[in-house]
Amino acid sequence: MSNNNAPYGLRPSRKLGGGAVANGAYSIADGYANAIYSGDVVMMTGTGNNIEIAPAGTVNAIGVFAGCNFIDGEGRVTFKPYWPAAQALEANTVCEALVYDDPNIIFRAQADTVAAADVGALCDWVAGTGNTKTGRSGAQAQASATATTGKSLRIYGLLREVGNEYGAYAEVEVMFAEHALTGVVSGVGGD
């Protein structure tokens, strides 16, 4: 049986050491030009508590986007599982962005391809095309390009699920090797 090609970004699977998976509240700048989908990796912009989409290999990711609440330019209170590119907000309001920001969260993700020998190695994620109907990311783990240094995610293992097997489009569990809340460790991930 082969795995399906259906990337969905990073989705919380569980927490290292147990406990509940929760998200933190951040913000998105009014009119931020890029769409952010549920499952996309995000980073801080350096302005207040604002986040933006993080390019592959980012060493200072804050976590994974989970959706957002905002009042649109027409005064409607809205929750969306994605941030629509260039969304205008009601004057003097802020978009509340929900982010899985705990560095101990283990995420599930589809890999481009993965082998048993890749478990424990580092990889990056690659962006994909998000879906505005579901709000889901199209990103996936790039396990075909593993390394011992210079990457941002650690492959924790194959997701234990019926029908999931090593090879193309396998689902894996990953953790951030580096995280904005724990700092960049020289030689571990992106630096």
Can you spell out the DSSP letters for 179-191?
Answer: BTTTB--TTTS--
Q: Is residue 4 part of a domain?
A: no
Q: 65, 172, 35, 54: which is closest to 115 by C-alpha?
A: 172
Q: Is residue 114 part of a domain?
A: no
Q: Which domain holds residue 80?
A: 18-100
Q: What is the pTM of this model?
A: 0.92
Q: Is residue 62 part of a domain?
A: yes
Q: Is residue 167 part of a domain?
A: no
Distance CA 131, CA 149 (A): 32
pLDDT of residue 73: 80
pLDDT tens-digit profile of 70-117?
Answer: 998 888 899 999 999 999 999 889 999 999 999 999 999 999 999 999
Q: Is residue 88 part of a domain?
A: yes
Tell me what the pLDDT averaged over the chain comes to.
92
Please list, residue by residue across 89-119, b when 16 or more beta carbons sit within 10 angstroms of its beta carbon and e when fewer do.
beeeebbebbbbbbbbbbbbbbbbbbeeebb
Q: Which two tokens stand for residue 150?
A: 């210079």
pLDDT of residue 99: 98
pLDDT of residue 56: 87
Number of domains the chain is built from: 1
Q: Is residue 89 part of a domain?
A: yes
Least confident of 63-67, 89-93, 122-126: 89-93
C-alpha torsion 51→67→54→177, nearest 10: 110
Q: Is residue 128 part of a domain?
A: no
Q: Is the pLDDT of residue 191 over 60?
A: no
Residue whose entry in the numeric block shows the structure tokens 């109907």: 133
Q: Is residue 30 part of a domain?
A: yes
